[in-house]
A and B are shown apart, each in its own frame.
Chain A
């Protein structure tokens, strides 16, 4: 194993980072949005909404992401109606198939995490908001969601790390992300160990930065959980209230 080769490989792999990050960012953002909607459906009083949301979560959670990805990438083209529809320009691209599979997969896990977060919001805080005349979207936006997100964030950071790693599956449907490039170098140089160690190091770096960022966000959002002397100053500027 020579260091020069590892160094060269790392440089070549850098070209795959943008696509890995794009896939991860779209998967995390899309998964969170869809997951939030599904969590709300799960918690609604309407039988059709919560049964269908429950079914969705059960099915998606239990299906391997790779199976889902192959179904979308290889399977959708079997339907001629779809091939002639306006969706085809998007669905024929491996990139969007990977994004869709990641979003769907991520949304099921996100839905469960957000459901837990929403259930953790206390009756008392909600009642106080109602007593002030808040309801519906305003109540959710100002009180329920801010409290739920604080509860859900630590668990969701695990899910984000899992999502970054899951993007590597996209290499199996021809995408040249970090793993895709690594696989092609490995097969042309017959040196899988240094190549995949280098690829692993890149994922380690991405996930380290990601978890740090989430921790920093968590810290900013939870001054109320720290002793008073560490809590007061930052909090006020966050909300845009000018101290006198």
Chain B
């Protein structure tokens, strides 16, 4: 009986807060999926984004101002794989919106549309640093993943707003095709440096490196999320020299000074790249982001 009353209350609440404009109210935690949602949803959705492309995606503050967007959202697009674990749960508990709670149809975990890499086998603990126990969460830098998410989003939008299902289906397919051709373009443009040994700051680009054929020799962080120590940097510099690494890739929100020092010591060149949409003036859309990364990598390898 209690359960029935509660279910009735929840359903009533959902009905009351239904959108007045007729458009789907989509909130994306990260800007890349916000861009994707706008492309797939077109005029039938309004999209707002919580995090900025210039900030470290692991350390987004749970600002109360986010509650305003979350309160009226029909759909919440999350990256999943525990990338948001540090800030999203309290926001969801406070937002007063049953539609986007975990387990509700409006809580859309985009990682279900992709195949995660680097899923630890066996147990993980924090002696390994900030290991994500369900795999590397930075899957957005492989455009094939974004293409799969575009198709997935078309289905999600169609389920939430069946009257525009045909439009979502069409744009989902078109965006997906556009992303696959972007993928081919990126692969073509990166051909001159394919196979190059590189060092990165954090495992943000691992999907990118794997797909486009880079050979990652090591990371500036000795363990994910852990600040490098003088000893770990000495070891890194040794392997940079031993393996002839010429390129050191740093996300633009990380500590570039450390990378610069390693570069000075070893003669490698630093590419400071945006890694999320909106992360640089020339990376305001996802395709622009991918092209900006390609440009920055090619530029740095030319010296």
Q: Do A and B bind each other?
A: no
Which residues of chain A have a CB within 8 Å of any CB of chain B? none
